[in-house]
Structure 1
């Protein structure tokens, strides 16, 4: 703050220690200046207060610009129907776009522009794909409203990420056992592990699950991502873990102070405790382990869809059942081969015939 303020400008300190400024000419009324001190907006408001006029209103984005289109989209019904997680993710993308290309005419955005922006993020495929998805949502909506003549995202492919071939690593049985040995029943880490493993919920839903969702030994919850309603039993292993652990009032998984986690803060915390146990550290990978177990125990595709909140005909459930069936067939084939080998070893006559046949084949060759 300068040693001496301009004419009619006064400074006061609130009881919270914050400096506030106001203009007062003579014994007239006080006009509070809300803008930050010494900014252009502050001095505009100061001059307006001296003359008794309202400060000029800040103009919004130009009609038809990309920033204007984004503003329209985030006020639409279609935007409000997206999940909170999707809106948050896309907001991050749109704020960047508004700062770098917000003044460009929306109708002038071409496919090459989308490709160039995607490729600019190629070192981070996940961020690049989030950008493409955000622009698809924006221009798909704009097409329906006739704000743009064509969708520039049409035909733009997502980039391949490091997890695309096999997906997130599914925890092995050895890794699950290692975590369980590190964190016994009754600890907060073990309860988080058990909730993820025995409910099949994703991270965002697992941190919301609590006693209000449970009735008659079953939990009912609407999933954050798809909006599907999942109704499933509280398995005995999970029930024992809940009973032995200090939980929150509304959620089973909670912080040291008993407060609910956000899914982001939970991910950070869960990653740390997993690394301490020398385990992968992925909540999604633990969910995959639960799906694998269910499939190996004979769950059908329809049952997996119901347990994990997947849509009917889901590719995920089909993958798990096919993998489990292949593993079962492989084990059965291996058992048959071993039994046949043991049979030949225990039958001297069969072994002798096999030996003579082998000699004939060698002579012929």
Structure 2
């Protein structure tokens, strides 16, 4: 018996393997729903109209996929409702329903806000019910790797290992994992890595040209394979973004670094540059940020540390200049007692009590 997934010998085909890994990666192959089959004015109708808009189509494939995943799940429960009847309280109720996963809950609000902002610009809506809905996710975000953690990871994975190469690429370039997995020899131009970031593609896309540091050059020179991408799986294939994230999680766990992650390396890269004195505009150029909000976070933190260190340095100088060692006090007392030897004191005059 043969099929698309079984050959004549009954073994799984390449088509089955590709389909299996596609589904594992989260791609359910959702098809676009014909607008004609939807109730005009419903939430689902608005969402599907948004998918066909220039605003949505200009976003990167990864962003489109993520938004579809979130909004399609939202439509399962409210898709038939009229979108013009949705109020802020309804958005908050949907958010709190997902409070068990606060990051996902806030992402839903973010994407609904974008949906209704587009609807207003397209003259389909007159107000945004997601405006004013505050976040419930209070986490400080991904942990930033410390110098000690970087040293521990390097000790666990020597040059020439995929784990070490991945870390050096992310730390020294500060790139997202969606870009990392695509980098290869074609991106190495002289002493620079040049590529087009996936995030912002088609909207404010701007190619990046980043210098190869000494640490990264050492890691690249240790590569022994001839595959198109720098990073390859144990099967000799390029990583997917999610696949690399899972692998990085495993590498960190094996190195006894449970709090560390791939995104934390990007934060460590920004922290190192900011503490080295990089300006907001320099950080924006390096990390591909379209506004200064994130850059300001790193520069202000670094500036605060420098101000604090300068204050304690002044304290150190002040203490060194004004403190009199205890040994000097003792010597001074001994000298005075020596000077009194042979002299009549009040105690000598009065006698014992």
Q: Does 1:216 align with 2:190?
A: yes
Q: Deviations over 1:6-34 (max 9, x none)?
A: xxxxxxx756588xxxxxxxxxxxxxxxx
User: Which residue matches 1:268?
Assistant: 246
Count of matched residue positions in the alignment of Structure 1 and Structure 2: 300
Name which of 278, 284, 304 aligns with 2:283.
304
Partner of residue 64 from structure 2, selected from 84, 87, 93:
87
For residues 235-274 of structure 1, the aligned pairs below 5 Å read: 235-247=213-225, 249-274=227-252
- Written as runs of structure 1 = structure 2, the 5 A alignment for 1:165-180 is 167-180=141-154
Distance of 2:193 and 2:110 partners within structure 1: 33
Separation in 2, partners of 1:95, 1:320: 35
Aligned-partner Cα distance in 2 for 1:321–1:58: 48
Residue 43 of structure 2, aligned match among 53, 66, 75: 66
Question: CA shift at 1:247, angstroms?
Answer: 4.9
Local SS of the residue matching 1:192: helix
Q: Which sits farther off after the overlay, 270-279 or 97-106?
A: 97-106
Unmatched segments (≥5 aa) in structure 2:
7-33, 334-353
Question: Aligned partners of 1:17 and 1:299: how far apart in 2?
Answer: 54
Residue 327 (structure 1) shift? 2.4
CA–CA distance in 2 between the matches of 1:91 and 1:17?
Answer: 28
1:325 counterpart residue number: 303
User: Where does residue 270 of structure 2 map in the other structure?
Assistant: 291
> Could you list the runs of 5+ residues in structure 1 that have no partner in the other structure?
1-12, 19-56, 356-365
Structure 1-normalised TM-score?
Answer: 0.74
Distance change (3 Å), C-alpha of 1:67 and 1:319: closer
Match of 1:316 among 263, 275, 294: 294
TM-score, structure 2 normalization: 0.76
Alignment pair present for 1:281 and 2:255 = no
Alignment of 1:95-134 (within 5 A): 95-134=72-111
Distance 1:106 1:188, change over 3 A: same
Residue pair 1:65, 1:105 contacting (<8 A) in 2 also: yes
> 1:186–1:241: 8 Å Cα contact kept in structure 2?
yes
**Following superposition, which runs of at least 4 residues in structure 1 exceed 6 angstroms of deviation?**
346-352
Alpha-carbon distance between aligned partners in 1 of 2:237 and 2:134, rounded to the nearest angstrom: 41
Look up the match of 2:346: none
CA deviation string 1:125-156 (max 9, x = no partner): 11111111221122222222232343222222
